[in-house]
Structure formats: structure tokens, C-alpha cells
Amino acid sequence: MTSAGFNVTSSLTLVGFSSMSGHSSLLFFVFLLLYLFVLFSDSLVIYIICSQRALHRPMFAFVASFLLNSLTGSTLVYPKILSDLLLSGAGLVQVSRTLCQCQGFLVSSLGGASFMLLSAMAFDRYLSICHPMHYAVLVTPAKVVLMLLLCWMLPAILVGVSTLLASRLPLCRAQLDRAYCDIYSIMSLSCGGAAAQLSGIYILLIVTATIFLPAAFMIFSYARILFICLRRSRSFSSKALQTCLPHLLVFFNYSISVYLDLMLRRLQSNRESDSTLITSMLMMLVPTVLNPVVYGLKLKEVFTHVKRLLSCRRDS
């Protein structure tokens, strides 16, 4: 099934947790708890933002959209991992190439959308802090909706084209050293040639457009905010930096995860690699678990409502 030179057209094999086959029950329990935590915490923060009129502001609209994006990505990955652990006993998992490409499209496009949404938050904070007199004119509800559509549609269109390119590539290997599918990993199984090189260049353009450029824009925006804060009063600077801190924590969280994943992709060999599997899982687990914690605890307005809601449930 996985010998070199075998042209795979119908199914792929996910190495997944084959090296941890003796701990499948424990892994299933851990991932189930993590998924339930992500599902509850993301939904709680989104519900609070949607239900509280005082939070119907652009910044919180971006936060709710970002958490919804993260929750959707988790729902695409966690249940699949749970079913693989339950049905395969943490061994090799077979998946059709079509389903793998569908999951790869959704995971990759949502990953790009995460950085786009973070850049939209940075732009919102930049206008709010650096141009407060014009903020209400520059950031209208209609413009917020357009920015959200751009953040989701641009990665989806770009990744959609790469998915079509990947579907036409002949594959010489069928084994992915990952627990879930993504477009880059599927393309890495191809036999090479001009089509594979073109697809690789296009993937690089996608990464640049949806990750590197938004990250550069975020760094520029927060640098400008810091520069403005240094020139203002201490109370103004403290309040401004307090609203930016959660976004910065989430940004660095995602950036470090993506950087480690890209570096280990470059260093990995053709052999099955436990480090590749572990990194791919950490890239998914750490951001999805920390995102609702950061926004639920570090955004004062959200934390106040979270504490009030949980205390009411406890009293009842």
C-alpha cells in the first residue's frame, strides 16, 4: 500500500497514532475531554458576545468570528481523530483520497482565515487607538461584514484552486505521517514533475498571502500602536495595551505553532516520524484550547459576563 512508485488514486493511509497503539484508550479520553472543553468554552464566549448588546462592537464581532472559525476547525479534526482512535485502536487509518482532500481544503482554508481574522483585529485596534476621531466613520457595520467575508473567502478561493491542482496530481506514496489531512501534505506525496513544482509554487503563494503578509501587517499595526502609546499618558497606554494583549497572545500562539510545523516539514525525512505527528497535533491542540481561555479571561468585558453567567448557573 505504501511502497514508492505506487500510483495511488483512491485511498490514503494516515499514520496517525500507530506508534502509540498501546495507549489508544487514554488518548481517546484525553482528546474527548479537550474537544468538549473547546466546544463548551468557544460556544460560551460566542454566546456572551452575541447576547450582550454592550459587546456588539467591531472588536468583539471579530473575536466571535475568530472563535467560530477555530470551533469549526476543531469540529473538522477532533471527531475524526476520536473515530480513528475508537475504530482503529490507534493503528494505521485508511481514508479515501476525496475525503482527505475535502478535509485538507477545509482545514487549510480555515487556518488561513485565522491569520486573516487576526490581521483584521489588528487593523481594528490600530484605527481605534491611532485614529479615534475617525474610527466610527472608518469602521462601520457594513465594512466589518465586508472584512469578515474577505477573511473567509480569500483563503477559501486560494486553497480551493490548490485542492483542484492536488486532485490532478499522480501520487507515488500513500502514507501521511499526520493524524489529519492538509493540502500541503497531500501534495508532498506526488511523484514530482512540472505539475508538482507548479503546485508547490502556488502553495508558497498561498502561505505568503494568508499567513506571512497578514503576520507582517499585524507586526506593523502593533508596532504603530506601541509607538503611539509611548507618546501618550500612562492611563491611555495601559488601557490601549490591555485591549491589544489578548490578540497579541493569540497571534504569537498561532505564529509559533505554524513556524514549528513548517520547520519540521522541511526537516522531516521520508520515514515515519513521531515528531511530525506530535507537532501536527500540537499545532491544532494548543491554539484551539488556548484561544477561548485567552479571550475569556483577558478581555475584561467578556470575563465579567462569563463570571456572572457561571455564578448564576452555580446558584441555580
Q: Which residues contact 11 (CB under 8 A, 6 or more apart)?
A: 94, 95, 96, 97, 174
Q: What cell numbers appear for 122 in the block?
A: 489588528
Runs of H (alpha helix) within 89-188: 97-130, 135-138, 141-167, 183-187
Alpha-carbon gap, residue 45 to 110, rounded angstroms = 19
pLDDT tens per residue, range 103-149: 889 989 998 999 999 999 999 999 998 888 889 899 999 999 999 99
Measure the CA–CA gap between 306 and 294, rounded to whole angstroms: 13
pLDDT at 56 > cutoff 60: yes
Of these ranges, 1-10, 37-46, 296-305, the one predicted with the greatest mean pLDDT is 37-46
Beta-ladder partners of 12: 95
Residue type, 296: G
Per-residue pLDDT band at 16 (split at 50, 70, 90): low
Answer with the residue of higher pLDDT: 297 or 15: 297
pLDDT at 275 over 60: no
How does DSSP assign 166-202, residue by residue? HHTS-BS--EESSSS--HHHHHTTB--SHHHHHHHHH
In whole angstroms, give the CA distance from residue 221 to residue 251. 13
CB 129 within 8 A of CB 43: no
Residue 23 gets which letter from DSSP?
Answer: G
Q: Which of 35, 27, 29 is nearest to 288 (CA)?
A: 35
Mean pLDDT of 189-208: 81
* pLDDT surpasses 60 at 198: yes
Residue 30 has pLDDT above 70, yes or no: yes
Run of H or E residues at 11: strand 11-14
Give the confidence band of 1 by pLDDT, cuts at 50, 70, 90. Answer: very low
Average pLDDT, the chain: 81
Q: Which of 16-30, 237-251, 271-285 is least confident?
A: 271-285
How deeply is 126 buried, as exposed, middle or buried, from its count of CB atoms within 10 A (0-12, 13-18, 19+)? buried
- Average pLDDT estimate for 190-217: 84
**What's the rounded mean pLDDT across residues 172-184?**
78
Pairing of strands 93-96, 175-176: unpaired
Q: What is the pTM of this model?
A: 0.86
Q: How far apart are CA 273 and CA 73, in angstroms?
A: 24
Which one has a higher pLDDT value, 3 or 272? Answer: 272
CB-count burial class (<10 Å; 0-12, 13-18, 19+) for 90: buried
Mean pLDDT of 36-51: 91
State how far the Cα of 56 lies from the Cα of 178, in Å rounded to an integer: 39
Helix (H) / strand (E) containing 263: helix 234-267
Residue carrying the nine cell digits 505553532: 257
Please tell me the distance from the alpha carbon of residue 129 to that of residue 236, in angstroms, as a whole number: 9
Residue-level pLDDT at 235: 77
Which pLDDT belongs to residue 142?
94
Q: Which range, of 67-71, 120-124, 181-185, averages the lowest pLDDT?
A: 181-185
**pLDDT over 70 for what percent of the chain?**
82
